[in-house]
Structure 1
Amino acid sequence: MNYLSVENLSKSYGDKVLFNQISFGIDQGQKIALVGINGAGKSTLMKIIMGAEVADGGNVAINQQVKVAIVPQNPVFTGSLSIYQTIFDESSNATLQTIQEYNEALIKAQEGVDNSDRLNKLMEQMENLQAWDFEYQIKEVLGKLGLHDTELPVSNLSGGQRKRVALAKAILEKPDLLLLDEPTNHLDLETIEWLEDYLSKANLSLFMVTHDRYFLEKVTNEIIELEDGKIFRYSGNYGYFLEKKAERKIIEATEIDKAKSLYKKELDWIRRQPKARGTKAKYRVDAFEETKEKAFSKKEEREIELTVTSQRLGKKIIEIEGLNKSFGKKKILDDFSYTFKKGDKIGIVGPNGAGKTTFLNMITAQLDPDSGKVDIGQTTAFGYYRQEEGSFDDSKKLFDIVKDVAEVVTIAGGQTITISQFLTRFGFPPKQQHTPVGKLSGGERRRLQLLMVLIKNPNFLILDEPTNDLDIMTLNTLEEFLDDFPGCLIIVSHDRYFMDRLVEHLFVFEGEGKIKDFPGNYTDFREWEKTEKKAEKESEKSPKQVQTAVVEAPKESKGKASFKEKKEFAEIEKQIDDLNVEKSGLVHQISVGTDDHEQLMEWSNRIQLIDDKLEELELRWLELSELDGISD
Structure 2
Amino acid sequence: MNLVSVEEISKGFGERILFSGLSFGINAGQKIALIAQNGTGKTSILNILAGKDQPDTGMVNTRKGLRISYLEQDPDLQEDLTLEETVFRSDNEILKVIRDYEKALDNPGDQKRYQKAFEAMERNSAWDFETQYKQILFRLQLTDLQARVGTLSGGQKKRLALAHALLNKPDLLILDEPTNHLDLEMIEWLENYFARESITLFMVTHDRYFLERVCDEILELDGGKLYSYKGNYSYFLEKKEAREMRDVVELHKSKQLYKKELDWMRRQPKARTTKSKSRIDDFHEIKSKALQRRKDHEVQLEINMERLGSKILEFHNVVKSFPDTPILNKFNYSFVKGERLGIIGKNGTGKTTFLNLLTGNALPDGGKIITGETVKFGYYTQEGIPVKEGQKVIEVIREIAEYIPLKKGRQLSAQQLLERFLFDRKKQYDFVEKLSGGEKKRLYLCTVLIQNPNFLILDEPTNDLDVVTLNVLESFLLDYPGCLVVVSHDRYFMDKIVDHLFVFRGEGVIDDFPGNYSDFRAYEDSLDASKKAEKASDAEKGQTTGSPWREEGKRSNLSYAEQKEYKQLEREIQKLETRKKELQDAFLNPDITPEEIADLSKSLQETEQQIDQKTERWFEISVRAES
Please, what TM-score do these two structures have when normalized by structure 1?
A: 0.82
- Paired letter, 1:256: L
Letter in 2 for 1:160: G
**1:205 maps onto 2:200 in alignment:** yes
The match for 1:604 is none
Name which of structure 1's ranges 443-452 and 509-518 shifts more when overlaid on structure 2. Answer: 509-518
Partner SS, residue 145 of structure 2: coil
Contact 1:304 1:474 in 2 (8 A): no
Q: What letter is aligned with 1:103?
A: E
The residue number in structure 2 matching 1:580 is none
Alpha-carbon distance between aligned partners in 1 of 2:42 and 2:361, rounded to the nearest angstrom: 37
How far residue 330 of structure 1 moved from its aligned partner, in angstroms, is: 2.1
Q: Is the 8 A contact 1:33 1:216 kept in 2?
A: yes
| Residue 119 (structure 1) aligns with | 114
Structure 1 pair 414–216 and aligned structure 2 pair: CA distance change class (3 A): farther
Corresponding position of 1:35? 35
Say whether residues 1:19 and 2:26 are aligned partners: no
Task: Determine if contact 2:50/2:68 at 8 Å carries over to the other structure.
Answer: no
What amino acid is the match of 2:62? I
Contact 2:341-2:502 within 8 A present in 1 as well? yes
Q: Secondary structure of 1:240's partner?
A: helix
Write the mapping of 1:169-318 to structure 2, written as runs, cut at 5 A: 169-274=164-269, 277-318=272-313
Asked if 1:165 corresponds to 2:160, the answer is yes
CA contact (8 A) 1:18 1:228 kept: no
Q: Distance in 2 between matches of 1:318 and 1:301?
A: 38
* Secondary structure at the counterpart of residue 81 of structure 2: coil
CA contact (8 A) 1:74 1:163 kept: yes
What residue is the counterpart of 1:95 in the other structure? 94
Report Cα offsets for 1:285-304 as digits up to 9, x if no partner. Answer: 11111111211223333433
The question of whether the paired residues in 1 share the 8 Å contact of 2:299 and 2:476 is answered with no
Q: What displacement does 1:412 show?
A: 4.3
Q: Give the secondary-structure state (helix, strand or coil) at the position aligned to 1:491.
A: strand
Structure 1 segments, 4+ long, off by >4 Å, are 534-539
CA 1:471–1:381: 2 relative to 1, 3 Å: same
Q: What is the CA–CA distance in structure 1 between the aligned matches of 2:212 and 2:279, rounded to whole Å? A: 47
SS at match of 1:38: coil
The runs of 5 or more residues in structure 1 that have no matched partner are 540-557, 560-632
**Shift in alpha-carbon separation, 1:5–1:119, aligned structure 2, 3 A:** same
- Cα deviation per residue 1:56-95 (whole Å; 9 max; x = unaligned)? 1111222124332211111120141111110111x22221
Aligned residue in 2 for 1:148 = 143
Alignment of 1:592-611 (within 5 A): none
The Cα of 1:305 is off from its aligned counterpart by 2.6
Compared with structure 1, are the counterparts of its residues 155 and 374 closer, same or farther at alpha carbon in structure 2 (3 Å cutoff)? Answer: same
Considering only CA atoms, is the larger Rg found in Structure 1 or Structure 2?
1
Matched, 1:66 2:69: no
Percent of residue pairs identical? 51
Q: Deviation per CA, 1:445-476: give whole Å up to 9, x if none.
A: 11111110110110111000000111212211
Which residue pairs with 1:372 in the alignment? 367
- Which residue number in structure 2 is paired with residue 56 of structure 1? 56
| Cα distance between partner residues in 1 of 2:8 and 2:463 | 30
Aligned to 2:103: 104
| Matching residue of 1:451 | 446
**Residues 385-409 of structure 1: CA deviation (Å, up to 9, x unaligned):** 0011211324122222111111211
Cα distance per residue 1:170-207 (max 9 Å; x no partner): 21222221110111111111100011111111101110
Query: Is 1:352 aligned with 2:347?
Result: yes
* Other-structure match for 2:391: 396
Read off the aligned partner of 2:100 and give its amino acid letter: E
Q: Give the SS at the match of 2:426.
A: helix
Corresponding position of 2:609? none
- In the alignment, which residue of structure 2 is the partner of 1:494? 489
Contact 1:34 1:209 (C-alpha < 8 Å) held by counterparts: yes
Change (3 A) 1:511 1:467: same
Give the counterpart letter for 1:356 in structure 2.
K
Equivalent residue letter for 1:455: I
Structure 2: which 5+ residue stretches go unaligned? 535-580, 583-627
- Matched residues in 2 for 1:474 and 1:420: separation? 18
| Aligned equivalent of 2:468 | 473
CA contact (8 A) 2:92 2:167 kept: no
C-alpha contact (below 8 Å) 1:306/1:477 kept by paired residues: no
Distance 1:79 1:340, change over 3 A: closer
Aligned partner of 1:55: which letter?
P
Structure 1 pair 413/186, CA: closer, same or farther in 2 (3 Å)? farther
CA-to-aligned-CA distance 1:580-601 (integer Å, 9 cap, x gap): xxxxxxxxxxxxxxxxxxxxxx
Matched to 1:14, the amino acid is G
Distance 1:347 1:538, change over 3 A: closer
3-state SS of paired residue (2:75): coil
TM-score scaled by structure 2?
A: 0.83
Equivalent-residue separation in structure 1 for 2:519 and 2:242 (angstroms): 33
Query: Which secondary structure does the structure 1 equivalent of 2:165 belong to?
Result: helix
Q: CA deviation at 1:16?
A: 2.1
Q: CA contact under 8 A between 2:397 and 2:414: conserved in structure 1? A: yes
Partner residue, 1:5: 5
Cα root mean square deviation, aligned: 1.8
